[in-house]
Amino acid sequence: MLQGRIAVSAKMATHLLEEFSGRKSQSGRTALPNLTDREFEIFQLIGEVKSNREIGRQLHLSPKTVETHRMNVMRKLKIKSAAELLRFVLQYTEKESPGLSAG
């Protein structure tokens, strides 16, 4: 029983502490504000130019669930199209991991 307290996963607690401290995550990337762990995971897989079906297979989700997460990411980042999202993810990946390719 939570007794009025908020419960978060260990991964999310680490993410929050890193975000508030200004430190980068263990993966070397700063977290994007307002994205859930799952949305950030999908964000990263979009950067690998994977389809909803491929992401779903990897994460054991239906393509429709992946699409919902993708749309939530776009809404939170105020992005209007899939092409714009991919461009944003690739630019983010390059900025956070210079010298590494997305694929």
Query: How far lies 34's CA from each of 4, 15, 50, 101, 103, in Å?
Result: 22, 11, 22, 25, 25
Farthest CA pair distance, the chain: 47
Closest CA relative to residue 59, chosen from 77, 74, 46, 72: 46
Going from N- to C-terminal start, the domains of the chain cover: 10-96
pLDDT, tens digit (0-9, with 9 covering 90-100), for 4-51:
676 656 666 665 566 555 545 444 445 577 899 999 999 999 999 999
How high is the pLDDT of residue 54? 97
CB 63 within 8 A of CB 71: no
Bigger pLDDT: 73 vs 3: 73
Q: What is the pLDDT of residue 61?
A: 97
The confidence band for 103, taking pLDDT boundaries of 50, 70 and 90, is: very low
Closest CA to 31 of 45, 15, 47: 15
Query: Does residue 74 contact residue 8 with C-beta atoms inside 8 Å?
Result: no
Q: Under CATH, what is the fold of the domain 10-96?
A: Arc Repressor Mutant, subunit A (1.10.10)
* Mean predicted lDDT score pLDDT of the chain: 79
In whole angstroms, give the CA distance from residue 15 to residue 18.
5
Asked whether the whole model's pTM tops 0.75, one would answer no
